[in-house]
Structure 1
C-alpha cells in the first residue's frame, strides 16, 4: 500500500532557515527518559569484503552488496547465494565485466521493489567502465523465482559522474565521493544519492548528476512533480550536496531526510525540500575564496595550520547560507565534526521504546581534521519542524564497533548494521 508524500516547499524551509544554523542537542549514553532499550547482538555474516548495503524481503531474505565483489542474497535458512559478480569476481551465478571497484567506487546501494512479489525487481548502484572514463549507474535487475540468479539488467540511470585518476588533483583518489544510497520512498518512487566527485563544478550544476538526490520512477524517468530550478535535469530532487550516503523517510509524514559527509567539519542531517539547494559550492572565488588546487576548495581550510572547526566552517561552509540564503538548513551538524556520517534509518516499532520514530545514523569514525576516531551509531530525536535535533543518544553497543557503512531495519524489527571490516550484525532491542 502506498502512502502520500508531500515534500516540504522551499518557501517553508527558507522561512525558518536562520533558526537552524546552530543546534546544541543534549548527547549521552542514556535517553533522557531513561527508557533507551538494552541491545543484544548476533553476527549474521562475517568474512565479507566491505559490505556496503542491505535490502530485505518480508520473509527475512536479505540482498546485500560487497563493494569490490558484487551482489548476493542470504536466505532465511542462512544459506548465501552469490548472484552478480563484478569484473574479476569468481563464484557468482553471473558476472558483469564492466562493473569495477576503485577507491570509494564499486557496488554500493541496493533496494527491493515494493511490488517485488509481482515484478521480481531489485535495484543496484554500481560503477561501470561502459562509458569512458567510467560512470556510476543505477541498474534494475530481475531475480529468479528460486532467488539463485539475476537477469534482464536495465541501466535506468547511466550518467552519474565518476572521478577518474587525475594527476593534477591533490585530494583523494579515483572513485571518490560517489554517494551511493538507493531507497524507495513511501511515495513509491526511487531516491538515489550521489557525490560531488571532488569536482567544484558538479554540486551546483544543472545538468551533471553528482552532488544531487535524484527522484525517479522504476524506469529511471523523472517524477512529474520534481521541482528543480528552470534548466535543471528533471530527475533532480535536490542539489548542492557534497557526499550523501544516507536517505530515510520520517514515519509520521514521509519526509525524506539525508545524512551527508562534511568537509573535515560538520557532517549534516537535513530534511529535504523538493527543488532545494544543499548549499555546498566548492568552486574557487565563491564566498570570497581565492583559487584552489584543481579548482576544488572543499578542503582548503584544513591546509591552514591551527584553524579550528568553527573557523573552517566559516571559510568553507558545508551549507553556504551567505551565498545561498534559501539553502536547506541542516537539523544537525554532528557538533561541528566530520566523522563520516553514512547510512540512516528511522527506527519503528514499540520494541524500540523511546527510540520508536527516531533516526539512527551510522558513523564511520574517519576522524578528519584531527577529530578522534569514533565509530558508533547515534539516535536522533528530530524536531517536528525538521530544523533541529532535540536529543542525541549514542547506542551502547553489545559488540565491538566498526565503520558503520549501512544501518537497515529488517522485517523482524531488528536493526542490521554492516561494517567495512566485513561483518553484518543484527542488533536486537530488549
Structure 2
C-alpha cells in the first residue's frame, strides 16, 4: 500500500520478518550503554559512569514457535505462572506454548485486519492461577466494508467505516484453549477504519491490579510532509487529523488508559488519572495522552513507573 506520494507505507514490516517468536529471560537488570559525548561538549563522557557489562550467560533464548508462514505477524506474549506462554498473531490466532516448549493453537478470534488492525496485545490477570483470565485487545469484524475508506467525502461517506476495538477478558480452559464463549468486553475504543495507521494495543498490570492499555492515534501520517497530521479540511477523511484522537481529552485514542477490572467483567476508574470522573469533555480512563503509536509498554511493579515506547517520529 502507498500514499499519494507513491512510497510504500512502513506497516511495521519487521513483524513480517519475525520468523522466530522467542522469549528472552534475564537474570539481572538491563543496562543501556552510555551515549558518547557530543562534539563541543567536553567532559560529558566523564559525568556518566560506564555501565557494567552483563554476561551473555545470564540470558537464555527460548524458541516458542518457528516459521513466518505459520505464525503470520507475531504481536505480543504473556508468561503464565507455570512458565507457559500465550502469544498472539494479528490474524486473530492465540497460541499456547507449555514450559516444555510444545506449541499449539489455543483459539482464533474473528478479526478485522485492514492495515494494522487485528489482534494485538495479550496479558494474564494478576490472579491468573485462580481465575485463568486473559485480556486481549483486538478489532472485531463488525460489518465494515472491505478495501480502503475514501480519502474525501462527507460524513455519510465515512460512516460505514466507523468501528471500534475491544479490550476483552477471556477464560483459558483447563486444556489450555481459549473459551471464546466466556468473552466479557471490558472496554470499547471507538475508531475509524479503512485507512492507515496506529493501533497501539499493549496491556500490562501494576502491583495494585490496575490494567494499563496503550492505544494508537488512528491517524494517517503520510500526507503531511513529516509534520503533525492535523488536516482540518471539511471534506477530508477524519483519519488525517490527530486532533480528534491523541489531542482530544474526550477520546480514548493516542493514550495510555488505566482502569481496574471487576470480577463481573467491567471496570472502575482508579484515582490519579489525568481527569477526575465527571470532568466535562474528558474521559476518566486516560492516564497519559498525546501519543502517536505507543506500541510497547511495561509497568514496573515495584515503583509503578510506566515505561513506554512511542513508535515513529
| Shared fold per TM-score greater than 0.5 | yes
Query: How many residues are paired up?
Result: 218
Cα gap change, 1:246/1:27 in structure 2, threshold over 3 Å: closer, same or farther?
Answer: farther
Q: Is the 8 A contact 1:212 1:240 kept in 2?
A: yes
Gaps of 5+ in 1: 1-23, 87-96, 166-172, 264-430
Is 2:272 aligned against 1:234?
Answer: no
How far does the alpha carbon of each residue in 1:118-165 deviate from its partner, in whole angstroms, 9 at most, with x for none?
21100001011337533111110011112133231111112342x422
Name the CA distance, whole Å, in 1 between partners of 2:36 and 2:269: 38
Structure ranking higher on relative contact order (CA contacts 8 Å, 6+ apart) = 1
Q: Is the 8 A contact 1:140 1:156 kept in 2?
A: yes
How far does the alpha carbon of each residue in 1:51-77 deviate from its partner, in whole angstroms, 9 at most, with x for none?
100001121110000112411111123
Deviation at 1:252, TM superposition (A): 4.7
Please give the residue correspondences for 1:60-79 in structure 2 after superposition, counting only pairs within 5 Å: 60-79=83-102
Q: Is the 8 A contact 2:216 2:253 kept in 1?
A: yes
Deviation at 1:227, TM superposition (A): 3.2
Aligned match of 1:224: 270
Aligned match of 1:247: 297
Is 2:215 aligned against 1:194?
Answer: yes
Q: Is the 8 A contact 1:247 1:257 kept in 2?
A: yes
Report the secondary structure of 2:82's partner residue.
coil
Q: Is the 8 A contact 1:222 1:234 kept in 2?
A: no
How far does the alpha carbon of each residue in 1:175-226 deviate from its partner, in whole angstroms, 9 at most, with x for none?
x111110111122111000011113221121222101111112234242304
Name the CA distance, whole Å, in 2 between partners of 1:128 and 1:35: 45
Name the CA distance, whole Å, in 2 between partners of 1:77 and 1:140: 26
Report the secondary structure of 1:114's partner residue.
coil
Name the CA distance, whole Å, in 2 between partners of 1:256 and 1:33: 22
Please give the residue correspondences for 1:247-266 in structure 2 after superposition, counting only pairs within 5 Å: 247-250=297-300, 252-263=302-313
Aligned match of 1:26: 35
Cα gap change, 1:118/1:67 in structure 2, threshold over 3 Å: closer, same or farther?
Answer: same
Name the CA distance, whole Å, in 1 between partners of 2:107 and 2:295: 22
Name the CA distance, whole Å, in 1 between partners of 2:143 and 2:204: 25
Report the secondary structure of 1:136's partner residue.
strand
Poorly superposed stretches of 4+, deviation over 6 Å? none
Gaps of 5+ in 2: 1-32, 38-48, 145-160, 220-240
Is 2:216 aligned against 1:207?
Answer: no
Aligned counterpart for 1:50 among listed residues 47, 58, 73: 73
Name the CA distance, whole Å, in 1 between partners of 2:178 and 2:297: 28
Aligned match of 1:137: 166
Q: Is the 8 A contact 1:160 1:194 kept in 2?
A: no
Deviation at 1:257, TM superposition (A): 2.1
Name the CA distance, whole Å, in 2 between partners of 1:250 and 1:149: 28
Name the CA distance, whole Å, in 2 between partners of 1:110 and 1:260: 18
